[in-house]
């Protein structure tokens, strides 16, 4: 089976490709990535010469290119997206282009070519929850420009499913962590700054709550939904461990023997959602997926990977460690 993976130089996309090619020789992968912010060619260096792997530099908004690539494949798994909330506050336009226009380009082509699309979405489409847990039938209520563009993509996909009977599946996950994540995100940023004995910024009081899922578990879920999922359905993946940001940072500092004096509370970002929570009961009951990696093991493995792979992140721009990046916002 030949699969087109978009955004395969990013964090989750690269882990997904590595999983597929490691677990089975029945898959052939074409990876299309624009090599923009957050992409890292080093993420797939171990498979660059594999006969089952091909890399194409390109943007998912390029209709001619996407028509050509999709025609060669049996299905598309769309990881490509602008994905950092802080940057969506600073520059919403790039998120609209990638996350809405890019998704539409793929969606229109797979409808005409009669291929399957798996769209990778996020728990952030449900917005902040004071209580309870979101499921696949919960209302979309995004807060940030990033979340709004992902919700818009979902609505567009659902419309194509109903109007054109397009073969589509939507998956949503809670906060991912693990190897190869871009250092702007909380966990890798904390590990890197702690290693360098630099101040670690935490928004507000650090009480914002997220559920964390190890990236390998998420990739297992995406593959399960792709192979067994029903067209027109959506599936949620969660790690079943809601933890606040302050506890996460303290845990990392404890594991690498660094002082909590490195913690620095900074001005909260605009519209910061307090709590995300999602149930993965549906995919567990219907398709048999469950997370395998508990947070204690996952965070230890993640820390070890970053400490052992300094070459992966040492050239990252210093701007990503800006404690309040949205203050460079472009005027709208």
The pLDDT tens digits of the residues spanning 119-174 come to: 999 999 999 999 999 999 999 999 999 999 999 999 999 999 999 999 999 999 99
Is there a contact between 174 and 123 (Cβ–Cβ < 8 Å)? yes
Is there a single domain that holds both residue 164 and residue 200?
Answer: no
Query: Is there a single domain that holds both residue 123 and residue 196?
Result: no
329 located within any domain? no
**Predicted TM-score (pTM) above 0.85:** yes
pLDDT of residue 328: 64
Give the distance from CA 230 to its chain's centroid. Answer: 22
**Residue 27 is a catalytic residue:** no
**Considering the chain, what is the average pLDDT of its residues?**
95
* Structural domain containing residue 90: 2-177+213-237
* Predicted local confidence at residue 332, as pLDDT: 40
- Total domains present in the chain: 2
Catalytic: which of 33, 82, 86, 123? 123
pLDDT of residue 331: 42
Assign residue 76 the CATH number of its domain. 3.40.50.720
Identified catalytic residue from 27, 33, 82, 146: 146
254 is known as an active-site residue:
no
Cβ atoms 214, 173 nearer than 8 A: no
The yes-or-no verdict on residue 194 having pLDDT over 90 is yes
Q: Which residue has the tokens 């598309």?
A: 76
Is 282 inside any structural domain? no
Tell me, yes or no, whether 249 and 222 share the same domain. Answer: no
Q: Inform me whether the pLDDT recorded for 85 exceeds 90.
A: no
- Which candidate in 33, 82, 124, 211 is catalytic? 124
| DSSP state, residue 25 | S
Please confirm, yes or no, whether 211 is among the known catalytic residues: no
Q: What pLDDT shows up at residue 329?
A: 52
pLDDT at 65 over 50: yes
Q: Domain check: are 158 and 232 in the same one?
A: yes
What's 197's domain CATH number? 3.90.25.10
CA dihedral 315, 321, 327, 331 (to 10 degrees): 30
Mark whether 265 and 190 lie in a shared domain. Answer: yes
**Of 222, 237, 252, which closes a domain?**
237
Residue 332 domain flag: no
- Summarize the confidence of residues 295-306 as an average pLDDT: 97
Looking at residue 211, what is its pLDDT? 97
């Amino acid at each position: 089976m030949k699969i087109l993976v978009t955004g395969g130089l990013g964090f989750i996309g690269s882990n997904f490709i590595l999983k597929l090619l490691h677990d089975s020789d029945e898959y052939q992968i074409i990876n299309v990535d624009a090599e923009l912010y957050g992409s890292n060619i080093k993420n797939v260096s171990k498979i660059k010469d594999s006969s089952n792997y091909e890399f194409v530099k390109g943007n998912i908004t390029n209709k001619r290119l996407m028509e050509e690539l999709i025609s060669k494949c049996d299905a598309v798994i769309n990881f490509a997206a602008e994905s950092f909330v802080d940057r969506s506050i600073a520059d919403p336009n790039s998120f609209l282009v990638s996350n809405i226009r890019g998704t539409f380009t793929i969606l229109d082509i797979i409808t005409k070519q009669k291929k399957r699309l798996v769209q990778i979405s996020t728990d952030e489409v449900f917005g902040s929850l004071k209580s309870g847990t979101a499921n696949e039938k919960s209302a979309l209520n995004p807060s940030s420009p990033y979340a709004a563009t992902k919700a818009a993509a979902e609505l567009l996909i659902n419309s194509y499913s109903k109007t054109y009977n397009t073969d589509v599946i939507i998956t949503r996950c809670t906060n991912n962590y693990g190897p190869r994540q871009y250092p702007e995100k909380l966990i890798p940023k904390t590990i890197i700054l702690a290693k360098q004995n630099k101040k670690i910024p935490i928004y507000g009081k650090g009480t914002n709550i997220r559920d964390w899922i190890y990236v390998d578990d998420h990739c297992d879920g995406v593959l399960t939904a792709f192979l067994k999922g029903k067209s027109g359905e959506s599936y949620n993946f969660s790690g079943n461990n809601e933890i606040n940001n302050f506890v996460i940072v303290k845990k990392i500092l404890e594991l690498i023997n660094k002082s909590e004096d490195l913690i620095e509370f900074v001005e909260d970002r605009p519209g910061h959602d307090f709590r995300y929570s999602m149930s993965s009961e549906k995919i567990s009951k219907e398709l048999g997926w469950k997370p395998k990696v508990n947070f204690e093991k996952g965070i230890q493995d993640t820390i070890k990977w970053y400490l052992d792979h300094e070459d992966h992140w040492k050239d990252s721009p210093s701007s990503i460690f800006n404690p309040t990046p949205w203050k460079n916002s472009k005027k709208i």
